[in-house]
Structure 1
Amino acid sequence: MFPLSHMMKSFIRKGTLTVIDADGKRHVFAGEPGPSVTMRLTDKRLYRSLVFNAELAAGEAYMDGTMQFEEGSTLRDFLTLFSINRLSLGSYPIQKLLRAVKMRFRKRQQANPKGKAQQNVAHHYDLGNDFYKLFLDENMLYSCAYFREPDETLEAAQRNKLRLLAAKLCLKPGMRVLDIGCGWGDLALYLAALEDVEVLGVTLSREQQALASERARAAGMADRVRFELKDYRDVEGPFDRIVSVGMFEHVGVHHYDEFFKKLNALMPDDGLAVLHSIGHMSPPGMASAWLRKYIFPGAYSPALSEVFEVVERNSLWVTDLEFLRVHYATTLAHWGARFDENRDKVVAMYDERFARMWEFYLISAEMMFRTGSQLVFHMQLSRSRDAAPIVRDYVTDLQRTYIEKEKALDLAV
């Protein structure tokens, strides 16, 4: 087991990890009181690969069944233990050296030029609408919900999120709105139902564009809400309001100037843009190798320092900033529970390895927000300092107004 044993002794600072090796021998690594996990490794090649690329090797081992959990332990238990000890893993000498080397190739890992960006999006979002219906809310919102109360349903929390975004957009009749990365269209349809505005949603996913367009026709709003298969860089303005939810994570640090320059060019001086994105509270880094390979190729959730410097270079005012900290952990827990309920259907659609891959993704992502460094931020941007009201009460006031509008329009969930 050496050098894996050596790394594990440094890694486990809190809790206990018992590893049963391929020969059946038990190795116990313990720190301060905490979670206890028993894991069996059935492939001796893991002893080395886990040292040199822990996240990638662990994810692949679970997918392949060469990493198993015993004595009542589960994948969730293991990923919880992993997450609460992640800083000690990062400080292990080999891991520090490998991180420094990998950072040199960050630009290549996050390259999302036109064409390649569509390929990266298709890898994840074109798995099929029927698959996503198995675990998302009824309106298929695939981003962090906003839980005003801890016991709210996923559907109610997702509506809360749309309402919060709408309030920050300060919509007025006759406005043109652009939704960059529109998903399956629910935000665009919601905005058009609340106010007499025209909305263009753009996506690089064929599956999303087709279903969103169908929903607009079914709602009788196809004359005011359109969805196009288009890269945001090819959109022509102007737009009074721009919103982007869960798309910025796919831009890549080295394309940030391109992104914010485009926002600036698409808005008039009194325009507003609201960016909803995952970020992290730690210094600049990179997405895990496993996540990039299997789930989100080309993706990266930025450190806030990486965003602000580019916003400043592009002469944009940050007129409001809000952080949703534990909301995504709760959202992912809901998705994970629904996924588990429909696991047999996932296996029938794809196979057991695919189901294991998504289990690993959903639980590890939840841990990133529950005990890791991930968060979600809302950044409101404008070319002028007073495009939005200068007293923030309007965000709360408009949400209350929209709650009543939802009831009157029969939009309440």
Structure 2
Amino acid sequence: MNRILKYYLDTLIHTGTFSVIDAGGNLRTWGDGTGEPLTVRFNSHAAERAVALNPSLRFGEVYMNGGADVVEGTMYDVLALIFQNAGNHVTSRPWMRAIERMRRVARGIVQYNTPTRARSNVKHHYDLSGALYDLFLDEDRQYSCAYFERPDATLEEAQLAKKRHIAAKLRLDRDDLKVLDIGCGWGGMGLYLAGKLSADVVGVTLSDEQLAIARQRAEDAGLSERAEFRLQDYRKTQGPFDRIVSVGMFEHVGVGFYDAYFSHCAEILKDDGVMLLHTIGRYDPPGNTNAFIQKYIFPGGYIPALSEVMAAAERSGLIVSDVEILRIHYAETLKHWRERFLSRRDEAKALYDERFCRMWEFYLAASETAFRWQDLVVFQLQFTKSLDTLPITRGYMAAEEERLRRLDEPGSGNVADLRRCEAAE
């Protein structure tokens, strides 16, 4: 076995039962013998060397390209064991820290997300076949962290609860408010606000696939007059807007563009407006995006520390009016996605190939384990431009969420119908 890889595993794995079959066919085992046995087989000496020198990038890459196989357990089980043993210190070896320092220095280049580059990055991931996303997303195609009000909630229930939770924080307290949805995806959030809350929504995306589906969904729902979807960079969107919402898009902005992002939002938000930002974040200081995810899944992406977000927001003049940290919710969301994807893996292979399936399997497993055992959470940040825009206690959020829950019952109509019923009572 490669000596560096052996040294790394000697110092990393203390619990569990983890075995490696090296390229020469030799078996070695680490851990304390607890749990289900897990075994990885390397199919070449080159694969061993690659993982030994840069595991954060090469382990996923080697697995994706067939240089290694999980022959006992699953990739999720393997990553779970590694992260539980390592905690936040997966890159604790000196040469790994050096690699991460170099990546940190270069992140301004990697995340230089100009409008042209941002569109290219979006197309890389979001313009994949829509049939792929149908394999594992909920019916509304919500591709962001769900909100699990109950441990036994279905993915569909949790994604609907997420939309309620966000809408309550936006406080759409009158009809015909104009809402901007930055990074509207396949239109689910915007259609919820237009259909249930009678908002006039403008959704912007850089994905041709998402745009076509969002527009078709609006037409099918009879909401084309209220929900307009555009192929447009957020920097080109003109206001003013009463509300701004952005769900799962800020991760693609790039740390060098945070000031421009918040300054533009402040410019197009009305003086009595409300903004809600929902984004993946890290609970520790600024760092790097996982190397495999950055190279193969989300080029140009970055997961910020709260300090990075807040500093840019403060410079824009926006007022932070509420902060909520969602813990574990994304791990549960990713568990649903991973299990659904694996249950329909043959269909994904028919759309693409075995290499793609291995890449996607690693991406989903690595993401879920990172949200369970590393430093990833989700931030929901509310902003205003005036201290007196919203009630001075958070009770209105719970009251609005309960009202929206009533609206989400089948046959309940929209907020205008509910208001008429409440007035009649």
Q: TM-score with structure 2 length normalisation?
A: 0.93
Partner amino acid, structure 2, of 1:75: M
Letter in 2 for 1:295: I
Q: How far did residue 269 of structure 1 move?
A: 1.4
Report the alpha carbon displacement of residue 254 of structure 1 after superposing the two structures with TM: 0.8
The answer to whether the 8 A contact 1:3-1:47 is kept is no
| 1:37 correspondence with 2:38 | yes
**Shift of the alpha carbon at 1:31?**
5.8
Partner of residue 261 from structure 2, selected from 259, 262, 269? 259
- 1:411–1:285 distance in 2 versus 1, CA, 3 Å: farther
**Which residue of structure 2 lines up, in the alignment, with residue 73 of structure 1?**
73
Q: Distance in 1 between matches of 2:298 and 2:232?
A: 19
Worse overlay, 349-358 or 3-12: 3-12
Deviation at 1:283, TM superposition (A): 1.4
Equivalent residue, structure 1, for 2:225: 223
The SS at the match of 1:90 is coil
- Greater CA deviation, 84-93 or 372-381? 84-93
Percent of aligned positions with the same letter in both sequences? 45
State the Cα distance separating 1:195 from its structure 2 match.
Answer: 2.1
Residue 411 of structure 1: how far off its partner (Å): 7.0
Gaps of 5+ in 1: none
- Whether contact under 8 Å (1:35, 1:81) holds in the other structure is no
Q: Tell me if the contact between 1:10 and 1:89 (Cα under 8 Å) persists in the aligned partners.
A: no
The 2-side partners of 1:108 and 1:27 are apart by 41
| Cross-structure match for 2:422 | none
Map 1:341-360 → 2, pairs under 5 A: 341-360=343-362
Structure 1 position 158 matched with structure 2 position 194: no
User: Is 132-141 or 44-53 further displaced after alignment?
Assistant: 44-53
2:383 matched residue in structure 1: 381
Deviations 1:86-145 (A, max 9, x none): 334322111112212221111112111111000000000000211111110011110011
Number of matched residues? 411
Please report the RMSD computed on the Cα atoms of aligned residues, expressed in angstroms.
1.6
Partner SS for 2:286: coil
1:52 and 1:259 mapped to 2: Cα distance? 37
How much has 1:410 moved relative to structure 2? 4.6
The amino acid of 1:79's aligned partner reads L
Q: Which residue of 2 aligns with 1:133?
A: 134
Asked if the contact 2:282/2:303 (under 8 Å) is kept, the reply is yes
What secondary structure does 1:215 align onto? helix
- 1:35 Cα deviation (Å)? 6.1
* DSSP-derived class of the 2:45 partner: coil
CA drift of 1:48 comes to: 2.1
Q: Tell me which residue corresponds to 2:401.
A: 399
Alignment map for 1:136-151 (pairs within 5 Å): 136-151=137-152
Structure 1 pair 411–37 and aligned structure 2 pair: CA distance change class (3 A): farther
CA distance in structure 1 between the partners assigned to 2:255 and 2:103 by the alignment? 15
Give the AA of the match of 1:128. Answer: S
Q: Measure how far apart 1:242 and its partner are.
A: 0.2
Worse overlay, 278-287 or 198-207 = 278-287
TM-superposition CA deviations, 1:247-299 (whole Å, max 9, x none):
00000111100100011001111111000000011211111111111100000
Distance in 1, matches of 2:94 and 2:164, equals 47
The one-letter code sitting in structure 1 at the alignment partner of 2:365 is: I
In the alignment, residue 381 of structure 1 is paired with which amino acid? F
1:177-192 map, 5 Å: 177-192=179-194
What is the rounded CA distance, in whole Å, between the counterparts of 1:88 and 1:183 in structure 2? 34
Which range is displaced more, 22-31 or 117-126?
22-31
| Cα distance in 2 between the residues matched to 1:319 and 1:44 | 55
1:6-405 alignment to 2 at 5 Å? 6-30=7-31, 36-70=37-71, 72-86=72-86, 87-171=88-172, 172-405=174-407
2:113–2:253 Cα contact (<8 Å) kept: yes
Distance 2:33 2:304 in 1: 32
